[in-house]
Chains A and B, each alone.
Chain A
Amino acid sequence: MAELKVLFKDIDVPGIQTLEVYEQHGGYSALRKALGMTRQQVIDEVKASGLRGRGGAGFPAWIKWNGIPKDESQPHYVQCNADEGEPGTFKDRELMLRHPHQLIEGIIIAGYATLSKVGYIYIRGEYTEPARVMRRAIDEAYRAGYLGKNILGSGVDFDLYIHMGAGSYECGEESAMMSSIMGERGQPRLKFPHAPLPTIAGLWNCPTLINNVETLSCVPAIIRNGGAWYASMGTEKSTGTKIFSVSGHVNKPGNYEVEMGTPLMELLELAGGVKGKLKAVIPGGSSVPILPADKCDVNLDYESLQAAGTMLGSGGFMVLNDTVCIVKFMRRTAAFYAHESCGKCTPCREGTRWMVKIFDRILAGGGRMEDIDLLLDICDQIDGRSYCALGDAAAWPIRASIKHFRHEYEYFIKHGHSMVEAQAEHSVGGR
Chain B
Amino acid sequence: MAEQELVTIEINGIELQVPKGEMIIESAKRIGVDIPFFCYHPRLGKEQAANCRMCLVEAGTKQPDGSVRMMPKPQTSCTLPASQGLVVFTDTVAIQKARRGILEFLLINHPLDCPICDRGGECPLQNNTLFYGPGVSRFVEEKRHLPKAFPISDYVVLDRERCIHCARCTRFSQEISGDAQLEFLKRGADTMVSTFQNTEFTSRFSGNTIELCPVGALTSRVYRFRARPWDMKSQKSICTRCSNGCNIWLDYRPNRLVRVLGRENEAVNEEWTCDRGKFGHEYISSDRRLLSPLVRRDNRFVTASWVEVYQLIASRIRQAVEERGAGAVGAIGGAHLSNEEAYLLQKLMRVAVGTNNIDHRLERNQVAGGDTLLARLGVPFTQTAIADIEKAKTIFIFGADLVDEQPIVFLRARKAWFRFGAKVIIAHPEPTETELRFDEPLVLRYRAGTETTLINGLSHLILQSGRAVTDGISLEELQASLSEYTPARVAQETGVAEDALREAANLLGEGTVILCAGRVRNHPEYAVLANALVNLTLLTGNGSRGNGGLNILLPEVNSHGAADMGVLPDLLPGYVPVNDREARERIERIWKASLPAEPGLSTQGMLEAAAEGKLQVLYVIGEDIAQKYHDPELAQRALENAGFVIVQDLFLTDTAQYADVVLPAASVAEKEGTFTNTERRVQRFWKAMNPPSPDVKPDLNIFAELAVYLGKPLPVFSAEQVMEEIGQVFPAYAECCYDQMPAEGVRWMPTLTDRGK
Q: Which residues from chain A sit less than 8 Å from chain B, CB to CB?
A: 168, 170, 185, 190, 193-195, 338-347, 349-354, 357-358, 361, 374, 380-381, 384-387
Contact = CB atoms under 8 A, between A and B. Distances in A.
Contacts of B73: 384-385
Contact of B79 (A185, A195, A339): A195
A343 B49 CA distance: 12
A194 B53 CA distance: 14
B164 interface: yes
A348 to B, nearest CB: 8
Interface string B71-104: 0111110011101000000000000011001101
Interface residues of B, number: 42
Nearest to B167: A344
A407 B188 CA distance: 31
Interface string B204-223: 00000000000000000000
Given A350-B106, A354-B139, A381-B98, A194 B184 contact: no
Given A347-B102, A349-B165, A385-B101, A340 B81 contact: no
A289 B180 CA distance: 42
B640 to A, nearest CB: 61
A257 B178 CA distance: 51
Given A185-B184, A385-B98, A346 B189 contact: no
B105 A347 contact: yes
A343 B53 contact: no
Contacts of B72: 384
A386 B183 CA distance: 21
A340 B188 contact: yes
A13 to B, nearest CB: 42
B592 to A, nearest CB: 67
A386 B101 CA distance: 11
Contacts of B101: 347, 380-381, 385
Contacts of B106: 346, 350
B51 A345 contact: yes
B80 A353 contact: no
Q: Which of B47, B48, B72, B187 neighbours the largest number of chain A CB atoms within 10 Å of its CB?
A: B187
B581 to A, nearest CB: 64
20 contacts: A168-B187, A190-B48, A193-B81, A194-B76, A194-B80, A195-B47, A338-B188, A341-B189, A343-B184, A343-B189, A344-B51, A345-B52, A345-B53, A346-B53, A346-B165, A347-B53, A347-B105, A349-B105, A353-B189, A385-B73
Interface in B37-55: 47-54
Contacts of B50: 190, 194, 345, 387
Contact of B52 (A185, A340, A346, A352): A346
Contacts of B189: 338, 341, 343, 349-350, 352-353
Given A194-B79, A357-B141, A381-B101, A343 B56 contact: no
A350 B191 contact: no
A340 B81 CA distance: 30
A354 B53 contact: no
Contact of A352 (B109, B139, B167, B188): B188
Nearest to B59: A193
B108 interface: yes
A142 B72 CA distance: 46
Nearest to A341: B188
Contacts of B98: 381, 385
A341 B105 CA distance: 14
A340 B141 CA distance: 21
Interface string B148-192: 000000000000000011010000000000000001101111110
Contacts of A374: 138
A195 B187 CA distance: 24
A350 B101 CA distance: 11
Nearest to A391: B53
B163 to A, nearest CB: 11
B379 to A, nearest CB: 39
Contacts of B109: 350
Interface in B695-717: none
B105 A350 contact: yes
A331 to B, nearest CB: 14
Contacts of A338: 188-189
Contact of A346 (B97, B102, B142, B190): B102
Contact of B105 (A185, A343, A344, A346): A346
Contacts of B105: 346-347, 349-351, 354, 381
Q: What are the 9 closest A-B residue pairs judged by CB atoms, nearest first?
A: A381-B101, A343-B191, A350-B105, A353-B189, A194-B79, A341-B188, A357-B141, A384-B73, A343-B187
A358 B108 CA distance: 13
Nearest to B164: A346
Interface string B475-494: 00000000000000000000
Contacts of A384: 72-74
A385 B101 CA distance: 9
Contacts of B52: 345-346
B75 A194 contact: yes
A187 B547 CA distance: 38
Contact of B188 (A185, A193, A342, A386): A342
A334 to B, nearest CB: 12
Contacts of A345: 50-53
Interface in B105-134: 105-106, 108-109
Given A342-B187, A354-B141, 18 more contacts: A185-B183, A190-B79, A193-B81, A338-B189, A341-B189, A343-B187, A344-B49, A345-B50, A346-B53, A346-B102, A346-B105, A349-B105, A350-B108, A350-B109, A357-B142, A381-B105, A386-B53, A387-B53
Nearest to B72: A384
B141 A358 contact: yes
B39 to A, nearest CB: 9
B75 A343 contact: no
Contacts of A351: 105
A174 B72 CA distance: 20
Contacts of A347: 53, 101-102, 105
A227 B644 CA distance: 100
Contacts of A168: 187
A170 B188 CA distance: 10
A338 B188 CA distance: 7
Nearest to A205: B46
A353 B188 contact: yes
Interface centre among A346, A349, A386 (most CB of B within 10 A): A346
B51 A346 contact: yes
Nearest to B52: A346
A353 B188 CA distance: 8
B51 A385 contact: no
A125 to B, nearest CB: 14
Contacts of A380: 101
A387 B51 contact: yes
A361 B98 CA distance: 26
Interface string B558-587: 000000000000000000000000000000
Nearest to B109: A350
Given A349-B189, A385-B98, A193 B83 contact: yes
Contacts of B183: 185
A358 B139 CA distance: 9
A195 B102 CA distance: 23
A60 to B, nearest CB: 18
Contacts of B188: 338-343, 349, 352-353
A193 B164 CA distance: 26
A338 B138 CA distance: 19
A177 to B, nearest CB: 15
Contacts of B47: 190, 195
Contacts of B76: 194
A1 to B, nearest CB: 37
Interface string B521-542: 0000000000000000000000
B730 to A, nearest CB: 50
A341 B83 contact: no
A179 B154 CA distance: 33
A194 B74 CA distance: 12
